Chains A and B, each alone.
Chain A
Amino acid sequence: MDDENKLIGEAREGSVEAFSRLLRLHQAPLRAYLAGLIRDAEAVDDVAQEAFLGAYRSLDAYKGDSSFRTWLCGVARNKALVYLRDEARRRSSLNVAVSTWLAEDDDASTVERELQLLDGCVGKLPKTSAAMVAAYYQERRSADRIAQETGKTEVSVWKTLSRIRQALRECVELGLTAEAGGA
């Protein structure tokens, strides 16, 4: 943490290198955080870049009231909302509504822990569910292709993926609840 504060101090004085090192620490969870808000994978990187630049330019606004990552996520969320407002003219009302709800309801302070919990929850999935998650999210196979490979219907694959996501959501929420209860 001392290192992080030192880097923040140096970055405030204009050190791009120091800010880059901060990004190395935080870019991955920040992009994951944005991916939970924006329903367009390609846009995630663009908005993340805007957030990095926004944070770099307004570093003086960080007062240390929250963790730097939480502050960075806050900047990212604002950028996401700007992006969504802009996108509202181009995208379906459902897509925009969902992304906006996600951004508005989000609690940036827990995202890091949620992502850690998600890793644990994915690790606990039954073998077949883990295989489907890997096929769909890591190997980027379409539901149609998975359906063909597994002899299921596409609708069945959608539903299975949905059940897995719901189970993961419950698992993450349970983890947060358990921690809150134990705190």
Chain B
Amino acid sequence: MTRDRIEELWSRFLSNETLSATDERELLEALEADPALRRELLGEARIDGWLGVRGSNLRDAEAPIRRFLKQVGAEKDESGFIKKMESRLGSVTRRKAARPAPDGSSSWNLLLAAAGLLIGIVVLVMLLSDPAQPVKVVRPTPTPSPTRAAVEAKLQQIDRERERLIQAPSPQKPEEKVDRKRMLAELDEQRRRTEDELKEAIERARKTPVVAQSEQPKPDPVVTPKDPLLVPATSASEAMAATLERMEGAVQIGKLPARPDQGIRAGQGIETGAKSLAVIRYPDGTRVELGESTVLGEVKDGAKRVALEKGLLRSQIAKQPKDQPMIFATPQGEAKVLGTTLRLAVDADPRKGARLNVEEGKVEFKNLAGKTVLVEGGHYAVSAAGAELLARTFPIEEVVLLASAGKVSGGEWRPVKDDKALRGQAWETASATPTAPEPALWKDFYASVARVNERRASYVEFRFAADADKDYIVWIRGVCVAPGPSAAFCDQLAIEGASARVSRTQPVFKDNPAIGEFNGHVIRPGYWWVSGDADSGPLSPPKEPTDTIPLTIRFSRPGPQVLRLYALSSLMRVDAILLTTIRKTRPEESFVPPGAEPK
């Protein structure tokens, strides 16, 4: 077994893919035969296990303790407790040894996802803002304290040394390589320690006992009072709530120019100027990214509350205690992060108020009238004057189906690599003999149509989500690749949507309302977009494509949809299908749909 093969099987094993009995046996034999390889791969397995629980352990500290207390309580209640527990251990995990699916069917997955450590929440808020009112731009003028300056200088020195090592010619001798690697690791460790020193200094300053101003104790030796970052809080409400982790451009904290790593006291506001951004981090790991021209009215710790007055923010939120949810307050409403497996986006339509989009998890959204609605993943809600506060599913305006997303059934389609195709992949029709005389080609065409009608046809199937009762224009991007005179028969296709109706039916398909026909890719060279029949009329090829009224499809049920692509003739390639309510006219040949950008 080659090393490549071993690595592939091992990766699949770690990913909890099911290996065949033969693969398992071969992998086991390889591991048994080579102790060095075994050590290497076991090290990787250990890393895999650690990564799987990394962080969740830190955030989920109480659950195992509660469980322990419950079990000890049971022990006290039951004389046969130990036996019971031993018996229970025997029954531990009859479950399949599989990584929990991302949709989280197992309790472990729920534990990790729901109570997980730093669970990504993406919050995107765009509020009613007045772009005409520019944020006062003040360039930051850092005035580091001697201590801070010394630490920063140390960090810079470490970075310079690291850069020098990296830039130096690669060592040739193995021992030199090891030395270099070790030196880099040492520098990294030094940097980490230096950063820790800085953080500790900040933390010490934050924890300095609060007394009356006149009785303020001497600052910690490493703290310089002139440094706003390290000045101890002067009141309980001004405790350091967060840190400015990153900034670009003009950023102000409490109306003063900010600087990187600056602490943000509770109650202070943050403002970013045009073409600026700021990232703040809370002690629990929650990150909030502020876009340009954004005003955060206040930052509070404890019952964590962020008041966004205008602009845009994006946030990754750590799991919050149940009684202290993270709150995003806006002038139009407030979003309270309740759940734990959360990935959400909040934005606002300037005309309609504040809008909350929740991608995953649950968020409680409250409007100014005090009405609340629970918004779950895949839903949105709008808080605006006079509008009813309801959670609705996301509108889907455009769906891009690339070749890689299709699953083939039968032998009339084959996947091909094609440099000119989007992402280099396309499906090629293979249903007929491309060089046959015309009557034979027609015969093939009608045979293909019959197979579609009789549900015997081969197809490429796409599964995706789309809204119901919405007319999606269907654009198919394809190219005719048949040689010579047979080319005229290369470009006939049909689509069929499950629980769907197309805007134009065809007699050959017995006017089946779910089937639409496509034709005419042959009239232009290269890949281009066609919607319906682009090659009708007396002239063939026509002077201009004849699909002037695009073909649309309308699904009767919202959510998961199925679309099948049938081949009616050969040889044609399709690399993308675009369902859109936005692009009413033919996309340019150079148009690359979202998500199809070259890798």
- Which residues in A have some Cβ–Cβ distance to B below 8 Å? 16, 19-20, 23-24, 27-29, 31-32, 34-50, 52-53, 56-57, 79, 82-83, 86-87, 90-95, 97-98, 101-102, 105-106, 114-115, 118-120, 122, 124, 133-134, 137-143, 145, 148, 150-152, 155, 158-159, 161-162, 165-166, 168-169, 171-175, 177-178, 181-182
Residue B415, interface by CB 8 Å:
no
User: Do A37 and B49 touch (CB < 8 A)?
Assistant: yes
Partner of A94, one of B13, B51, B192: B13
Closest to B183 in A: A178
User: Do B44 and A46 touch (CB < 8 A)?
Assistant: no
Closest to A181 in B: B182
Which B residues lie within 8 Å of A151 (CB)? 404, 423, 599
A-B pairs with the 7 shortest C-beta distances? A28-B57, A158-B11, A35-B49, A43-B93, A42-B108, A36-B46, A40-B97
Which B residues lie within 8 Å of A93 (CB)? 24, 28
User: Do A118 and B54 touch (CB < 8 A)?
Assistant: yes
Which A residues lie within 8 Å of B61 (CB)? 24, 27-28
Residue B64, interface by CB 8 Å:
yes
- Which residues in B have some Cβ–Cβ distance to A below 8 Å? 7-8, 10-15, 17, 19, 24-25, 27-28, 31-32, 38-40, 42-55, 57-58, 61, 64-65, 67-69, 71-72, 75, 82, 85, 89-90, 92-95, 97-102, 104, 106-109, 111-113, 116-120, 181-182, 185-186, 188-189, 192, 343, 404-405, 423, 599
- Bound together, the chains give a CA A34 to CA B223 distance in angstroms of 41
Closest to B111 in A: A45
Give chain B nearest CB distance to A159 CB in angstroms.
6
Give chain B nearest CB distance to A61 CB in angstroms.
16
User: Do A139 and B343 touch (CB < 8 A)?
Assistant: yes
User: Do B57 and A27 touch (CB < 8 A)?
Assistant: yes
- Bound together, the chains give a CA A167 to CA B64 distance in angstroms of 31
Which B residues lie within 8 Å of A86 (CB)? 89-90, 92
Which A residues lie within 8 Å of B7 (CB)? 159, 162
Which B residues lie within 8 Å of A178 (CB)? 182, 185-186, 189
User: Do B51 and A83 touch (CB < 8 A)?
Assistant: no
User: Do A118 and B50 touch (CB < 8 A)?
Assistant: yes
What are 10 residue pairs bridging A and B, where the CB atoms are less than 8 Å apart in the complex?
A40-B95, A43-B95, A45-B111, A79-B89, A97-B28, A118-B47, A122-B54, A140-B109, A159-B8, A162-B7
Which B residues lie within 8 Å of A37 (CB)? 46, 49
Residue among B8, B43, B49 with most chain A CB within 10 A: B49
- Bound together, the chains give a CA A171 to CA B101 distance in angstroms of 29
User: Do A27 and B64 touch (CB < 8 A)?
Assistant: yes
- Bound together, the chains give a CA A115 to CA B55 distance in angstroms of 10
Closest to B109 in A: A140
Residue among B12, B47, B64, B98 with most chain A CB within 10 A: B47
User: Do A138 and B120 touch (CB < 8 A)?
Assistant: yes
Which B residues lie within 8 Å of A140 (CB)? 99-102, 104, 109, 112-113
Contacts A120-B189, A169-B40 known; list 13 others, CB within 8 Å: A20-B65, A27-B65, A31-B57, A39-B49, A56-B72, A106-B46, A114-B50, A139-B343, A151-B404, A151-B423, A158-B12, A159-B8, A169-B46
User: Do B28 and A94 touch (CB < 8 A)?
Assistant: yes
Give chain B nearest CB distance to A69 CB in angstroms.
13
Give chain A nearest CB distance to B141 CB in angstroms.
30
Residue among B39, B94, B185, B343 with most chain A CB within 10 A: B185
Which B residues lie within 8 Å of A28 (CB)? 57-58, 61
User: Do A162 and B85 touch (CB < 8 A)?
Assistant: no
Partner of B57, one of A29, A43, A49, A114: A29
Which A residues lie within 8 Å of B93 (CB)? 40, 42-43, 46, 83, 87
- Bound together, the chains give a CA A151 to CA B596 distance in angstroms of 8
Partner of A143, one of B15, B31, B82, B89: B15
- Bound together, the chains give a CA A90 to CA B573 distance in angstroms of 48
Partner of B99, one of A27, A41, A91, A94: A41
Closest to B596 in A: A151
- Bound together, the chains give a CA A152 to CA B423 distance in angstroms of 10
Give chain B nearest CB distance to A86 CB in angstroms.
6
Partner of A137, one of B11, B52, B92: B52
User: Do B405 and A165 touch (CB < 8 A)?
Assistant: no
User: Do A115 and B42 touch (CB < 8 A)?
Assistant: no
Which B residues lie within 8 Å of A175 (CB)? 185, 189
- Bound together, the chains give a CA A32 to CA B104 distance in angstroms of 20
Contact status of A95 and B100, CB under 8 A, knowing A53-B71, A137-B52, A173-B43: no
- Bound together, the chains give a CA A95 to CA B97 distance in angstroms of 8
- Bound together, the chains give a CA A35 to CA B54 distance in angstroms of 9
Which A residues lie within 8 Å of B69 (CB)? 16, 20
- Bound together, the chains give a CA A87 to CA B14 distance in angstroms of 18
Give chain B nearest CB distance to A174 CB in angstroms.
5
Contact status of A162 and B14, CB under 8 A, knowing A40-B95, A142-B101: yes
- Bound together, the chains give a CA A93 to CA B207 distance in angstroms of 54
Which B residues lie within 8 Å of A102 (CB)? 42, 45-46
User: Do A82 and B89 touch (CB < 8 A)?
Assistant: yes
Give chain A nearest CB distance to B561 CB in angstroms.
16
Partner of A42, one of B14, B51, B106: B106
User: Do A155 and B8 touch (CB < 8 A)?
Assistant: yes
User: Do A43 and B92 touch (CB < 8 A)?
Assistant: yes
- Bound together, the chains give a CA A175 to CA B98 distance in angstroms of 31
Which A residues lie within 8 Å of B112 (CB)? 41, 140
Contact status of A98 and B107, CB under 8 A, knowing A53-B68, A140-B100, A175-B185: no
Give chain B nearest CB distance to A53 CB in angstroms.
6
- Bound together, the chains give a CA A111 to CA B127 distance in angstroms of 47
Give chain A nearest CB distance to B276 CB in angstroms.
21
User: Do A115 and B50 touch (CB < 8 A)?
Assistant: yes
- Bound together, the chains give a CA A169 to CA B38 distance in angstroms of 13
- Bound together, the chains give a CA A106 to CA B42 distance in angstroms of 10
Give chain B nearest CB distance to A83 CB in angstroms.
6
- Bound together, the chains give a CA A126 to CA B44 distance in angstroms of 18
Closest to A17 in B: B69
- Bound together, the chains give a CA A76 to CA B515 distance in angstroms of 61
Which B residues lie within 8 Å of A97 (CB)? 28, 31-32
- Bound together, the chains give a CA A171 to CA B118 distance in angstroms of 23
- Bound together, the chains give a CA A47 to CA B92 distance in angstroms of 8
Closest to A102 in B: B42
Give chain A nearest CB distance to B348 CB in angstroms.
26
User: Do A158 and B8 touch (CB < 8 A)?
Assistant: yes
Contact status of A142 and B57, CB under 8 A, knowing A134-B120, A158-B8, A158-B12: no
Residue among A39, A86, A182 with most chain B CB within 10 A: A39
- Bound together, the chains give a CA A171 to CA B189 distance in angstroms of 11
Closest to B119 in A: A138
Which A residues lie within 8 Å of B51 (CB)? 118, 122, 133, 137, 165, 168
Give chain B nearest CB distance to A114 CB in angstroms.
8
Give chain A nearest CB distance to B538 CB in angstroms.
43
- Bound together, the chains give a CA A148 to CA B423 distance in angstroms of 12
